[in-house]
Amino acid sequence: MTQRENARRTSRRRFLTIAGLAGVSAVTVGGVRKEPLPVWTWNGILFGADVSISLHGMPSEQKARSLSEQCFREMRRLERMFSLYLPDSAICQLNTHGLLRKCPAEFIELVEESLRLNKLTQGAFDITVQALWKAMDEHDYRIGPPSDTLLSAALSKVSSDHVRIDDDTISFSQPGMAMTLNGIAQGFITDRVADLLRDQGVERSLVNMGEYRAIGHHPEGRAWNLGIREPGASFGGALLDSVPLEEDRALAVSGGYGYTFDPNRKHHHLLHPQTGENMPTDRSVVVVAPTATIADALSTACAVLDDEAAHSISRDLNCELRIYRENT
């Protein structure tokens, strides 16, 4: 196992750990300071990324903990379907055998939504890009960039048109194909957690499962404000912008700086499914959409498109798009 593979597996093995629930803060509404309201914050890890849930106005710590534990169980259940790093996950079984019978309902739902978004993004979002990603990741960039022959062979295995859904069975109609839901699963889980909280009576919460979803307005009666850092900047870096997130809206950010294949950071994990090309790593896209599922997938698609095409598709889907670059 390479050091890079070990690092990936270690981050996934952590999956989710409850880091704590704490916090009480006062709020100001209409210029009048109100009594302190409980703001219970849960922190954890999902797919190797930091995640959190802020619960406002909970009647007790016991209620906040109970809700957080329910969210934890739901996230773990869904991660076991969608993770490429758990050999017995639904997606790994599908990729291994090219066919999966008795698929979980949520797995079929997410694949169907992915195929729909593939059409709406004119192929820029494609869950069958995994074969291309694997080929690029395994290539030795010390000898140069991937050859046209390698690229063509990998691209021949990429097409959502070859995904078949028949009742509770999903299969590939072409050998050598593989699926990844990494560009949409976190958004899907974010929406599931938001629905769970809303069903339990939560009126105000900011859910961050890699993508953000707002439940209600901020306790101060305004939108939730999310700070945007320079592409590739570490946590704590200076903010470039602030994006308001209104009630029941979602936000996702994508950029190639997150994982690169080569030391020069020119080739990265966000590959155009039809060409294998990358946009520059100094660029990030922010999408605000009705659901985190759409925001996640659309940000993935826009991250592989040039600015004009990305704005065009976002307008067609009635979503807001912002594009940022380093030092801008």
pLDDT digit string, tens, across residues 112-152: 999 999 999 999 999 999 999 999 999 998 898 899 999 99
Please check whether residue 74 lies inside any domain of the structure. Answer: no
Residue 253 lies in a domain: no
Q: Which two tokens stand for residue 285?
A: 């896209």
For 56-98, the pLDDT digits (tens) are: 988 888 999 999 999 999 999 999 999 999 999 999 999 999 9
The answer to the question of residue 166 being in a domain is yes
Buried b (16+ CB within 10 A) or exposed e, 14-42: ebbeeeebeeeeebeeeeeeeeeebbbbb
- pLDDT above 70 as % of the chain: 86
Rounded-to-integer distance, Cα 230 and Cα 282, Å: 9
pLDDT at 6 over 90: no
pTM for the full model? 0.88
Per residue in 48-64, pLDDT (tens digit) is 778 899 999 888 889 99
User: How many structural domains are present in the chain?
Assistant: 1
The domain in which residue 127 lies consists of 90-172
**Which H or E run includes 70?**
helix 61-82
**Confidence at residue 159, expressed as pLDDT on a 0 to 100 scale:** 97
**DSSP structural state of residue 52:** E
Provide the pLDDT confidence category of residue 19 given band limits of 50, 70 and 90. very low
Q: What's residue 256's pLDDT?
A: 78
Q: Which CATH number characterizes residue 142's domain? A: 1.10.3980.10
In a domain, 19, yes or no: no
Is 245 domain-assigned?
Answer: no
Residue 247 lies inside a defined structural domain of this protein: no
Residue 328 domain-assigned?
no
- Average pLDDT taken over every residue of the chain: 86
Q: Is residue 148 part of a domain?
A: yes
pLDDT digits (tens, 9 = 90+) for 189-217: 999 999 999 999 999 999 999 899 999 99
CA 260-183-41 angle, 5° bins? 100
